[in-house]
Structure 1
Amino acid sequence: MASKPHRVHHIAETSPSNSAKKAKKITTTTMKEGFEKYTQYLNEMNDKRERLVKASRDITINSKKVIFQVHRINKHNKDEVLEKAEKDLANVTNQYIARLLKELQGTDFWKLRRAYSPGVQEYIEAATLCKFCTTGTLLTLVEINTNLLPLSDPSHEPFQINVLDYLLGVADLTGELMRLAIGRISDGELEYAEKICQFVRDIYRELTLVVPHMDDNFEMKKKMETMLQSVVKIENACFSVHVRGSEYMPLLGSSEPNFSFLGVTDFEL
């Protein structure tokens, strides 16, 4: 009989309510430490995201300079302009893209894609435009990522541009090619404009086979509409030249030495 109070006291010490209180105290401490670590992680990610946005903006600005340089091209300065554009593009790669890659080393860069995607798309647009003007071909995603490998630290996972950013950049390329084609038509280079037209048609046709399988990506489908407008503008411009070409006449005189306006020779001053 004397052992019963002892047993009751022992059971009271090990009751579920006391065990829950001890467990609750340990769990609260652990959760607090985990929350502090998670807060620190979020703060670091936010700081990194801001730096990536800044790096992306720098890439965008300098890639646009490359594009503007290409649009200076004409039949007299093609080699000179393209050489300058390629040097500027190399500077963007070695300086601004390299800075972006350095910032992304050792992180899950897929989670931060939205922070740097606009700059990468603009870079792809500039690189593919230079490639087309130089060789008449499309710069592939494999070629771009291969060129970026030397910029990555071998001890970390190499940064690779994903398919979506590449396709978005190529979609923007067609708008620049439309402007280039219109400029070439105004300079009388109809054959070059027709080459651009066929190239843009091929890109649009290939993307119409890919975009429906991109999980309803709104951004890509919106750019497809803009791309179709670019194709139509180039086709209309080339068609107008073919149909109305015979109606055009020199506005500032003729290079022929015996040319006269309405049969009246030039006056000698």
Structure 2
Amino acid sequence: MYYSYSAVIHRLRFMASKPHHLLPLPNSAATTVAAKRARTMATDSSSSSSSSSPIKDAFTKYTQYLNTLNEKRERVVKASRDITINSKKVIFQVHRISKHNREEVLEKAEKDLKAVTDQYISRLVKELHGTDFWKLRRAYSPGVQEYIEAATFCSFCKSGNLLTLDEINATLLSLSDPSLEPLQINVLDYLLGLADLTGELMRLAIGRISEGELEFAEKICRFVRDIYRELTLLVPHMDDSYDMKTKMDTMLQSVMKIENACFSVHVRGSEYIPLLGSSDPSSFLLGVPDIEL
């Protein structure tokens, strides 16, 4: 765009008539002091104590809390491992049961289980005093599940009944300080322990069949089948329990193995007559009781 000579002269006159406020040259000494003040304002001791001190204290407290929680978690994991190892020993002891040594084996197993409760479960209870149980549940859940498996295994072999969650938690009350919240096993860990129990009962049933104790194997079969049926109705309503849904598949396999073993004895009973001590091996199914599946 081209402007005429008169238009340019008019614009220059307008700019000359407009007041312009020129900034004075900065004083180097004043500028330096102002800059220093600006830099030291955030780190001044008087202002720092009022602005950053609460944040620093809160961060320090949170760091100490995390360190304490991590140390406690390590101790809880160690206690859970000890519970797992010694509970497995109780389960192995129960597997030695037979019709000849039943009372002796169960008495030894109950004594070992009480030692697990008094020595290792009590240590876990003391570690969890004053804390939120759910925060450390993953740390102690494997040991608790193994303990439930051992306790219910002993109870079934002794009385033929299922040890309930309330009965297990009642035994833990004596280990807790009455002034603090006692450790109580939650429902999920109890059900996970029951799922593992069916696997041990399957092994026990197969072993009892090989020893000729068919009635006991049949009783185990009905018991495991009842547990599986009840859990089949319950598990679909549980929220996000991947472990439980995975163990249901294993539980079904255990039920099928016991049923197949009992059915094989019922159908092919003549092959088991020498094992059962029959006086007449030529007789069919002599000495083999009827098994209702």
TM norm structure 2: 0.77
Aligned partner of 1:264 in structure 2 is none
Aligned partners of 2:148, 2:209: CA distance in 1, in Å?
25
State the structure with more CA Rg: 2
Which residue among 121, 124, 128 is the counterpart of 1:100? 124
Aligned partner of 2:51 in structure 1 is 27
Shift in CA distance, 219/27, structure 1 to aligned 2, threshold 3 Å = farther
1:168 aligned onto 2:201: no
Aligned partner of 2:149 in structure 1 is 125
Which residue among 158, 164, 167 is the counterpart of 1:143? 167
Shift in CA distance, 249/193, structure 1 to aligned 2, threshold 3 Å = closer
Tell which deviates more after alignment, 240-249 or 86-95: 240-249
Q: CA deviation at 1:155?
A: 1.1
Task: Show the 5 A alignment for 1:23-102.
Answer: 26-102=50-126
Identity of aligned residues (%): 77
Aligned partner of 1:134 in structure 2 is 158
Would you say how many aligned residue pairs link Structure 1 and Structure 2?
Answer: 239
Q: CA deviation at 1:27?
A: 3.5
Aligned partners of 1:148, 1:192: CA distance in 2, in Å?
31
Residue deviations 1:155-176, cap 9 Å, x none? 1001100000000001100000
Q: What SS class does the counterpart of residue 168 from structure 2 fall into?
A: helix
Q: What SS class does the counterpart of residue 274 from structure 2 fall into?
A: coil
Which residue among 240, 245, 261 is the counterpart of 1:237? 261
Residue type of the alignment partner of 1:101: V
Q: What SS class does the counterpart of residue 220 from structure 1 fall into?
A: helix
RMSD: 2.1
Aligned partners of 2:143, 2:94: CA distance in 1, in Å?
18
Which residue among 133, 142, 164 is the counterpart of 1:109? 133
Residue type of the alignment partner of 1:99: R
Q: What SS class does the counterpart of residue 174 from structure 2 fall into?
A: helix
Aligned partners of 2:68, 2:48: CA distance in 1, in Å?
30
Runs of at least 5 residues in structure 1 that lack an aligned partner in the other structure: 1-19, 260-269
Residue type of the alignment partner of 1:109: F
Aligned partners of 2:50, 2:142: CA distance in 1, in Å?
46
Aligned partners of 2:272, 2:89: CA distance in 1, in Å?
34
Q: CA deviation at 1:250?
A: 3.3
Aligned partners of 2:186, 2:210: CA distance in 1, in Å?
37
Q: What SS class does the counterpart of residue 105 from structure 1 fall into?
A: coil
Q: What SS class does the counterpart of residue 151 from structure 1 fall into?
A: coil
Aligned partner of 1:17 in structure 2 is none
Moved over 4 A (4+): 20-25
Aligned partners of 1:91, 1:27: CA distance in 2, in Å?
56
Q: What SS class does the counterpart of residue 110 from structure 1 fall into?
A: helix
Residue deviations 1:54-97, cap 9 Å, x none? 00000000000000000000110001000000000000001110
Q: CA deviation at 1:109?
A: 1.7
Runs of at least 5 residues in structure 2 that lack an aligned partner in the other structure: 1-40, 282-293
Q: What SS class does the counterpart of residue 31 from structure 1 fall into?
A: helix
Aligned partners of 1:248, 1:59: CA distance in 2, in Å?
40
Aligned partner of 1:191 in structure 2 is 215
Residue type of the alignment partner of 2:166: V
Shift in CA distance, 81/36, structure 1 to aligned 2, threshold 3 Å = same
Aligned partners of 2:103, 2:272: CA distance in 1, in Å?
29
Q: What SS class does the counterpart of residue 89 from structure 1 fall into?
A: helix
Q: CA deviation at 1:25?
A: 6.4
Aligned partners of 2:278, 2:201: CA distance in 1, in Å?
30
Q: Which has the higher contact order (CA 8 A, sep 6+)?
A: 1
Residue deviations 1:204-228, cap 9 Å, x none? 0010111111113100000000000
Residue type of the alignment partner of 1:170: L
